[in-house]
Chains A and B, each alone.
Chain A
Amino acid sequence: MQPTVKQLAMVWAALLGFTLVEVGLAFPHFSAVLFLIVLLVLSIGKSALIIGFFMHLKFERRALALTLFPLLIVFVLVLLALLPDAERLREMRF
């Protein structure tokens, strides 16, 4: 089983649309942390579309995703746990 051309075209259009939203949000002034969270959510959404349809993981056996991704997710979460420390460092320094 594989994605149809129509599905691939819709994913492509959605990815371009999400990118325009990101660029549009870059110019009004938000706090760095809030903007970072919004961008991360949009990026994760775009990644899910790329992995699911372009890399057709959605059409593979679930065992593949369950083997590959838990490690990556735990690794990224551990890394992200460091980011609040960056804010603390900023306050300590200045």
Chain B
Amino acid sequence: MQREATWEGGGSPFAIGVKPLGMWLFVVSDALTFSALLVTYTYCRLSNPDWPTPFHFSPSILFSTAMTFLLLSSSFTMALGVRAMKNGRRGQTVRMIAATIAMGLGFVALHLNEWFHLMRVENITLTGNPWHQPLFGATFFGLTGLHMAHVSAGVIYLAIIAAGVARGKFRAEDVEASGLYWHFVDLVWMFIFPMVYLMSVAR
């Protein structure tokens, strides 16, 4: 009689905590969403020769480059925070997460400033713009808005984690999971910045 094949790979085939594993699965599923939005934007951009190019060096490219530097630096401090927590240094972990939160808030402030500049000076809204290309506003604000929502949610998430770590709650894998989320937010911007801003520089 043939035996039914069963998996005997043990209880922890990835040797990773259940919370970081859950965050990895979330991150990959969220990456599918952003991939679809980015390809949609790029498809519209490439198929239309009259696609708006509203991003002047100052302030748009200057600000978006500064925003990129802020997110990359915040990922660096977050990685240092995760490392400190794994080594049992809670005080340093809180300081590193606080620095990450500060840079995340800086990113949101600069991004909102950039949005208001586009709306007030360049007259770009969700449905209209001087180039008569309504898809630009829809795809631009949809994509960058969803990303900004992720950054804002990440700031709140990190604040909760930092407050808990300061009070002696949470373990290293909790901080690690929040770090994975934050790095993912950074990772998505590494595609939005070149695909959206640098591809549509005003000449």
- Choose from B44, B72, B83 the contact partner of A2 (Cβ within 8 Å): B83
Whether the pair A3, B194 counts as a contact (CB closer than 8 A) is no
Which residue in chain B gives the minimum CB-CB distance to A4? Answer: B83
Produce 1/0 per residue, A37-66, CB < 8 A to B: 001001100110011011110001101100
- Picked from A5, A23, A75, A86, the residue with its CB within 8 Å of the CB of B80 is A5
Residue of A nearest to B38 (CB): A79
Encoded as 1 (CB less than 8 Å from any B CB) or 0, chain A from 14 to 32 comes to 0110010011011101001
Distance in angstroms from B158 CB to nearest chain A CB is 15
Known contacts A26-B198, A50-B183, A63-B14; 12 further A-B pairs (Cβ under 8 A): A22-B193, A36-B42, A36-B46, A36-B195, A54-B76, A60-B14, A60-B15, A63-B13, A76-B39, A79-B35, A83-B46, A85-B43
Residues on B facing A (Cβ under 8 Å): 13-16, 21, 24-25, 28, 31-32, 35-36, 39, 42-49, 57, 61, 65, 68-69, 72-73, 75-76, 78-80, 83, 86, 179-180, 183-184, 186-187, 190-191, 193-195, 198-199, 201, 203
10 closest A-B pairs by beta carbon, nearest first, are A86-B46, A86-B47, A39-B194, A12-B76, A26-B198, A79-B39, A89-B47, A64-B14, A86-B43, A54-B79
13 A-B pairs whose Cβ atoms sit less than 8 Å apart in the complex: A23-B198, A36-B195, A42-B194, A46-B190, A47-B187, A54-B79, A54-B179, A60-B16, A61-B16, A64-B14, A68-B28, A83-B39, A90-B47
